[in-house]
Amino acid sequence: MDLKLENKVVLVTGGSQGIGLDIIHCFLAEGAHVANADQHIPKDQLLADRPATSKGKHLFIQADLCDLDACQNAVGETIGHYGQIDIVINNAGVNDGAGLGNGVEAFTNSLHRNLIHYYAVVESALDALKTSRGVVINIGSKVSVTGQGGTSGYAAAKGGINALTREWAVDLAPFGIRVNAVLPSETWTPHYKRWLNTMSNPKAVQNQIECLIPLGNRLTTSQEISDMVVFLASPRSSHTTGQIIFVDGGYVHLDRKCTAGD
């Protein structure tokens, strides 16, 4: 299927690793041009060392998105380089464990890492998105609806992302701008692997989690997340807005008799 993304300009935040990196490769394969705003240089050599990969072009913008000026500069650099922005993918964030008892400052810092820059980037890109009748995709988390424990800042931020997705879909519909959210649950990424490796028996913990995922009893791949993101960003999804979509093999919402591991 031709997703009709050739020569579209995409700004991705946090695209140097994990889900963000797969999102970038998926857009590039469709012929889109991507700007990656991230604090870290991509470890992927195709992105770090070459100006172009696959059919699309790639631009790396080093940016600490907790700095609001950096958010505005990332938008400005993208427009300066490509001349437009058609799609914004808000992805950068980290489950930083800022929980109850860690103090208000830790909670506030977590909101800056995980929520505030979502608003700042979209606000900075708004004129460009209105011109292109563009798309915003927010990457959220199942923690926004399930809770997790010990991570109040991250949970509040992800809940805010769900709310902003619906709010912006209403605000921006008159301009033809679509806004949706994609929520991963248990997704295999380098960060997830590092978390498992902190356990005394990583394989046993992974098996316990996979038993709770009805579809295939396996973790979601980051490729499956990125495929959904790119489809929602494409004109093939032209009448979809305000949706919060879980890509999780049924982990969050299916009946507990389906998700109770043996």
Tokens of 247: 């890509």
Instruction: Please write the tens of the pLDDT for every residue from 115-140.
Output: 999 999 999 999 999 999 999 999 99
What is the span of the domain harbouring residue 243? 9-259
Of 82, 118, 154, 192, the active-site residue reads 154
4: in domain = no
Active site residue 251: no
Residue-wise over 206-226: b if at least 16 C-beta within 10 A, else e?
beebbebbbeeeebbebebbb
CB 97 within 8 Å of CB 151? yes
Kindly state the percentage of the chain with pLDDT values over 70: 96
Tokens of 150: 């010990």
1: in domain = no
Q: Indicate the helix (H) or strand (E) that contains 104.
A: helix 104-111
CATH classification at residue 183: 3.40.50.720
Instruction: Please write the tens of the pLDDT for every residue from 214-225.
Output: 999 999 999 999
79: in domain = yes
How many independent structural domains does the chain possess? Answer: 1
| Nearest-5° Cα angle at 152, 225 to 158 | 30
Q: For residue 58, what are the contacts with CB-CB under 8 A and spacing of at least 6?
A: 24, 28, 33, 34, 35, 36, 47, 50, 51, 52
Determine the 3-state secondary structure of 116 from DSSP. Answer: helix
What is this structure's pTM?
0.94
Instruction: Please write the tens of the pLDDT for every residue from 66-78.
Output: 999 999 999 999 9
